[in-house]
Amino acid sequence: PLEESLYHRLGGEKTLQQLVEVFYDKVARHPDLAPIFPDDFTLTKEKQFKFLSQFFGGPDLYNQAYGHPMLRARHLRFPITPTRARAWLACMQETLDELGLEDHIKQEMMMRLTYTAQHMINTPEQEN
């Protein structure tokens, strides 16, 4: 039998909807992250929900709505330092802990997100 996708195992759409709500509340309150995000997270949440759906092997909602993600290119206008990447991942780890997902699912998600977050770094450590 085919192994079920990570998307399915993490709880699909319902979990990812909760995830973006909890995650961006943390981002909005994080001193290293808040300054580079818009004040209104509505569109950010919607895009991230759609992106993570396909990222974890579910429906390709982001591509259907916005075309190819070109994720690194879309992040180039924001100064993403190693500190910000660590902060983003810390907010995500806290979020997954609060959602109460199983350890091995969290680890699998964090491995993939960590790899992508490293790839988004485009600016050396700076004074801001």
Residues that bind ligand HEM (CB under 6 A): 33, 36-38, 43-44, 47-48, 51, 55, 66, 71, 74-75, 78, 80, 84-85, 88, 113, 116-117, 120
For residue 105, give both structure tokens: 């699912």
Q: How far is the CB of 103 from ligand HEM (least distance, A)?
A: 20
Output DSSP code: residue 58: S
User: Which amino acid, 37?
Assistant: F
Q: How far is the CB of 58 from ligand HEM (least distance, A)?
A: 14
If the CB atoms of residues 6 and 36 are measured against ligand HEM, the closer one turns out to be 36
Rounded-to-integer distance, Cα 92 and Cα 39, Å: 19
Rounded-to-integer distance, Cα 114 and Cα 25, Å: 20
